[in-house]
Amino acid sequence: MSFTKLPPPGAFDSIPGVRETGRHGTVVTLALEGPADPLVKALARFEVVGLDSHEADLEDVFLALYRGSDGHA
């Protein structure tokens, strides 16, 4: 997602199923597992100028499962 002003770190931490995976400039990359409604409602607090969405490919799903909850392979 692209914002006019970068949201503060941790702005999306309390949203169920959302994990921040990167930041670059005014772009925040998130991974979402589950319903999008809580994320959409949280985004309303910020001025979003762009949104790109795609389903995880098989490799992403496999790596997420392989890493487990601690994030390490």
Does residue 25 belong to any structural domain of this protein? yes
Does residue 49 belong to any structural domain of this protein? yes
Number of domains the chain is built from: 1
pLDDT one-digit tens code per residue, 3-54: 999 999 999 999 999 999 899 999 999 989 899 999 999 999 999 999 988 7
The secondary structure of the chain in percent helix, strand, coil, rounded to multiples of 5, reads: 25, 25, 50
Does residue 72 belong to any structural domain of this protein? no
Question: Which residue range(s) make up the domain with 8?
Answer: 2-67
Does residue 52 belong to any structural domain of this protein? yes
Does residue 11 belong to any structural domain of this protein? yes
Q: State the pTM of this model.
A: 0.70
Does residue 10 belong to any structural domain of this protein? yes
Does residue 40 belong to any structural domain of this protein? yes
Does residue 16 belong to any structural domain of this protein? yes
